[in-house]
Amino acid sequence: MRSLLTVTLLTLCGWALAAQQVEIINPETGLKSWKKLDRGFSIELVQILPEFVEATYASRDLPRALYASMKGYCIFGTVVRNESDAPLSYRVAEWRYVTRDGKRHRLRTKSEWIAVWRKLGADFSYSILPDDIEFDVGDWAQGFTTPKIAPGTRFDLIYTWRQHGKILTGKLENLECPQGSGLR
């Protein structure tokens, strides 16, 4: 219902209202998600518990070392969509997360994770958000985003995308690594 209301408001009120961040708490799990639609670029981050990540990798018979390599990282399911009327692109290497002390940090990209995992003997590349991608209208991508932060840590995510030859910037604010998360 809340999603339908959000979509209806976005349709009726245009991009000015669309740039508002929405936080949703799953009533069954208590896990949070944050979504923002800004000038046609839609991004959503969903808290994921480490047990889910471990089960995902274990179900593919991946080495335990692959999962262990993610220790100290908080994992978010991330969905990016082009809801504009023209192609757009993004590069995760340009995104930064900002911790409460004001420091900016790089996210580890999919290519960087793959390099780590290959050294561990795993040829796996499906779970992490693609490094960079160009979207046609209506296209989307999903995967894990991995800030290196402790459980309970709050942070902002500054993301960029390109459209019509311009670099645009957005921000998801006050995101939180779920308590009890962080790979063990």
pLDDT mean values, one per 10 residues, the chain (184 residues):
42 54 94 97 95 86 86 94 97 97 97 93 88 96 95 96 97 91 45
Angle at 85 between CA 84 and CA 91, to 5 degrees: 50
Burial 24-54 (b: 16+ CB within 10 A, else e): eeeeeeebbbbbbbbbbbbbbbbbbebeebb
Angle at 97 between CA 184 and CA 132, to 5 degrees: 95
| pTM of the entire predicted model | 0.86
Residue of 160, 126, 159, 162 whose CA lies nearest to 144: 126
- What's the pLDDT at 18? 53
What is the assigned CATH class of domain 41-176?
mainly beta
Query: Which DSSP string do the residues of 66-131 spell out, in sequence order?
Result: HHHTTBT---EEEEEEE-SSS-EEEEGGG-EEEETTS-EEEPPPHHHHHHHHHHTT----SSBPPS
DSSP 8-state symbol, 153: -
Q: Are 132 and 141 in contact (CB under 8 A)?
A: no
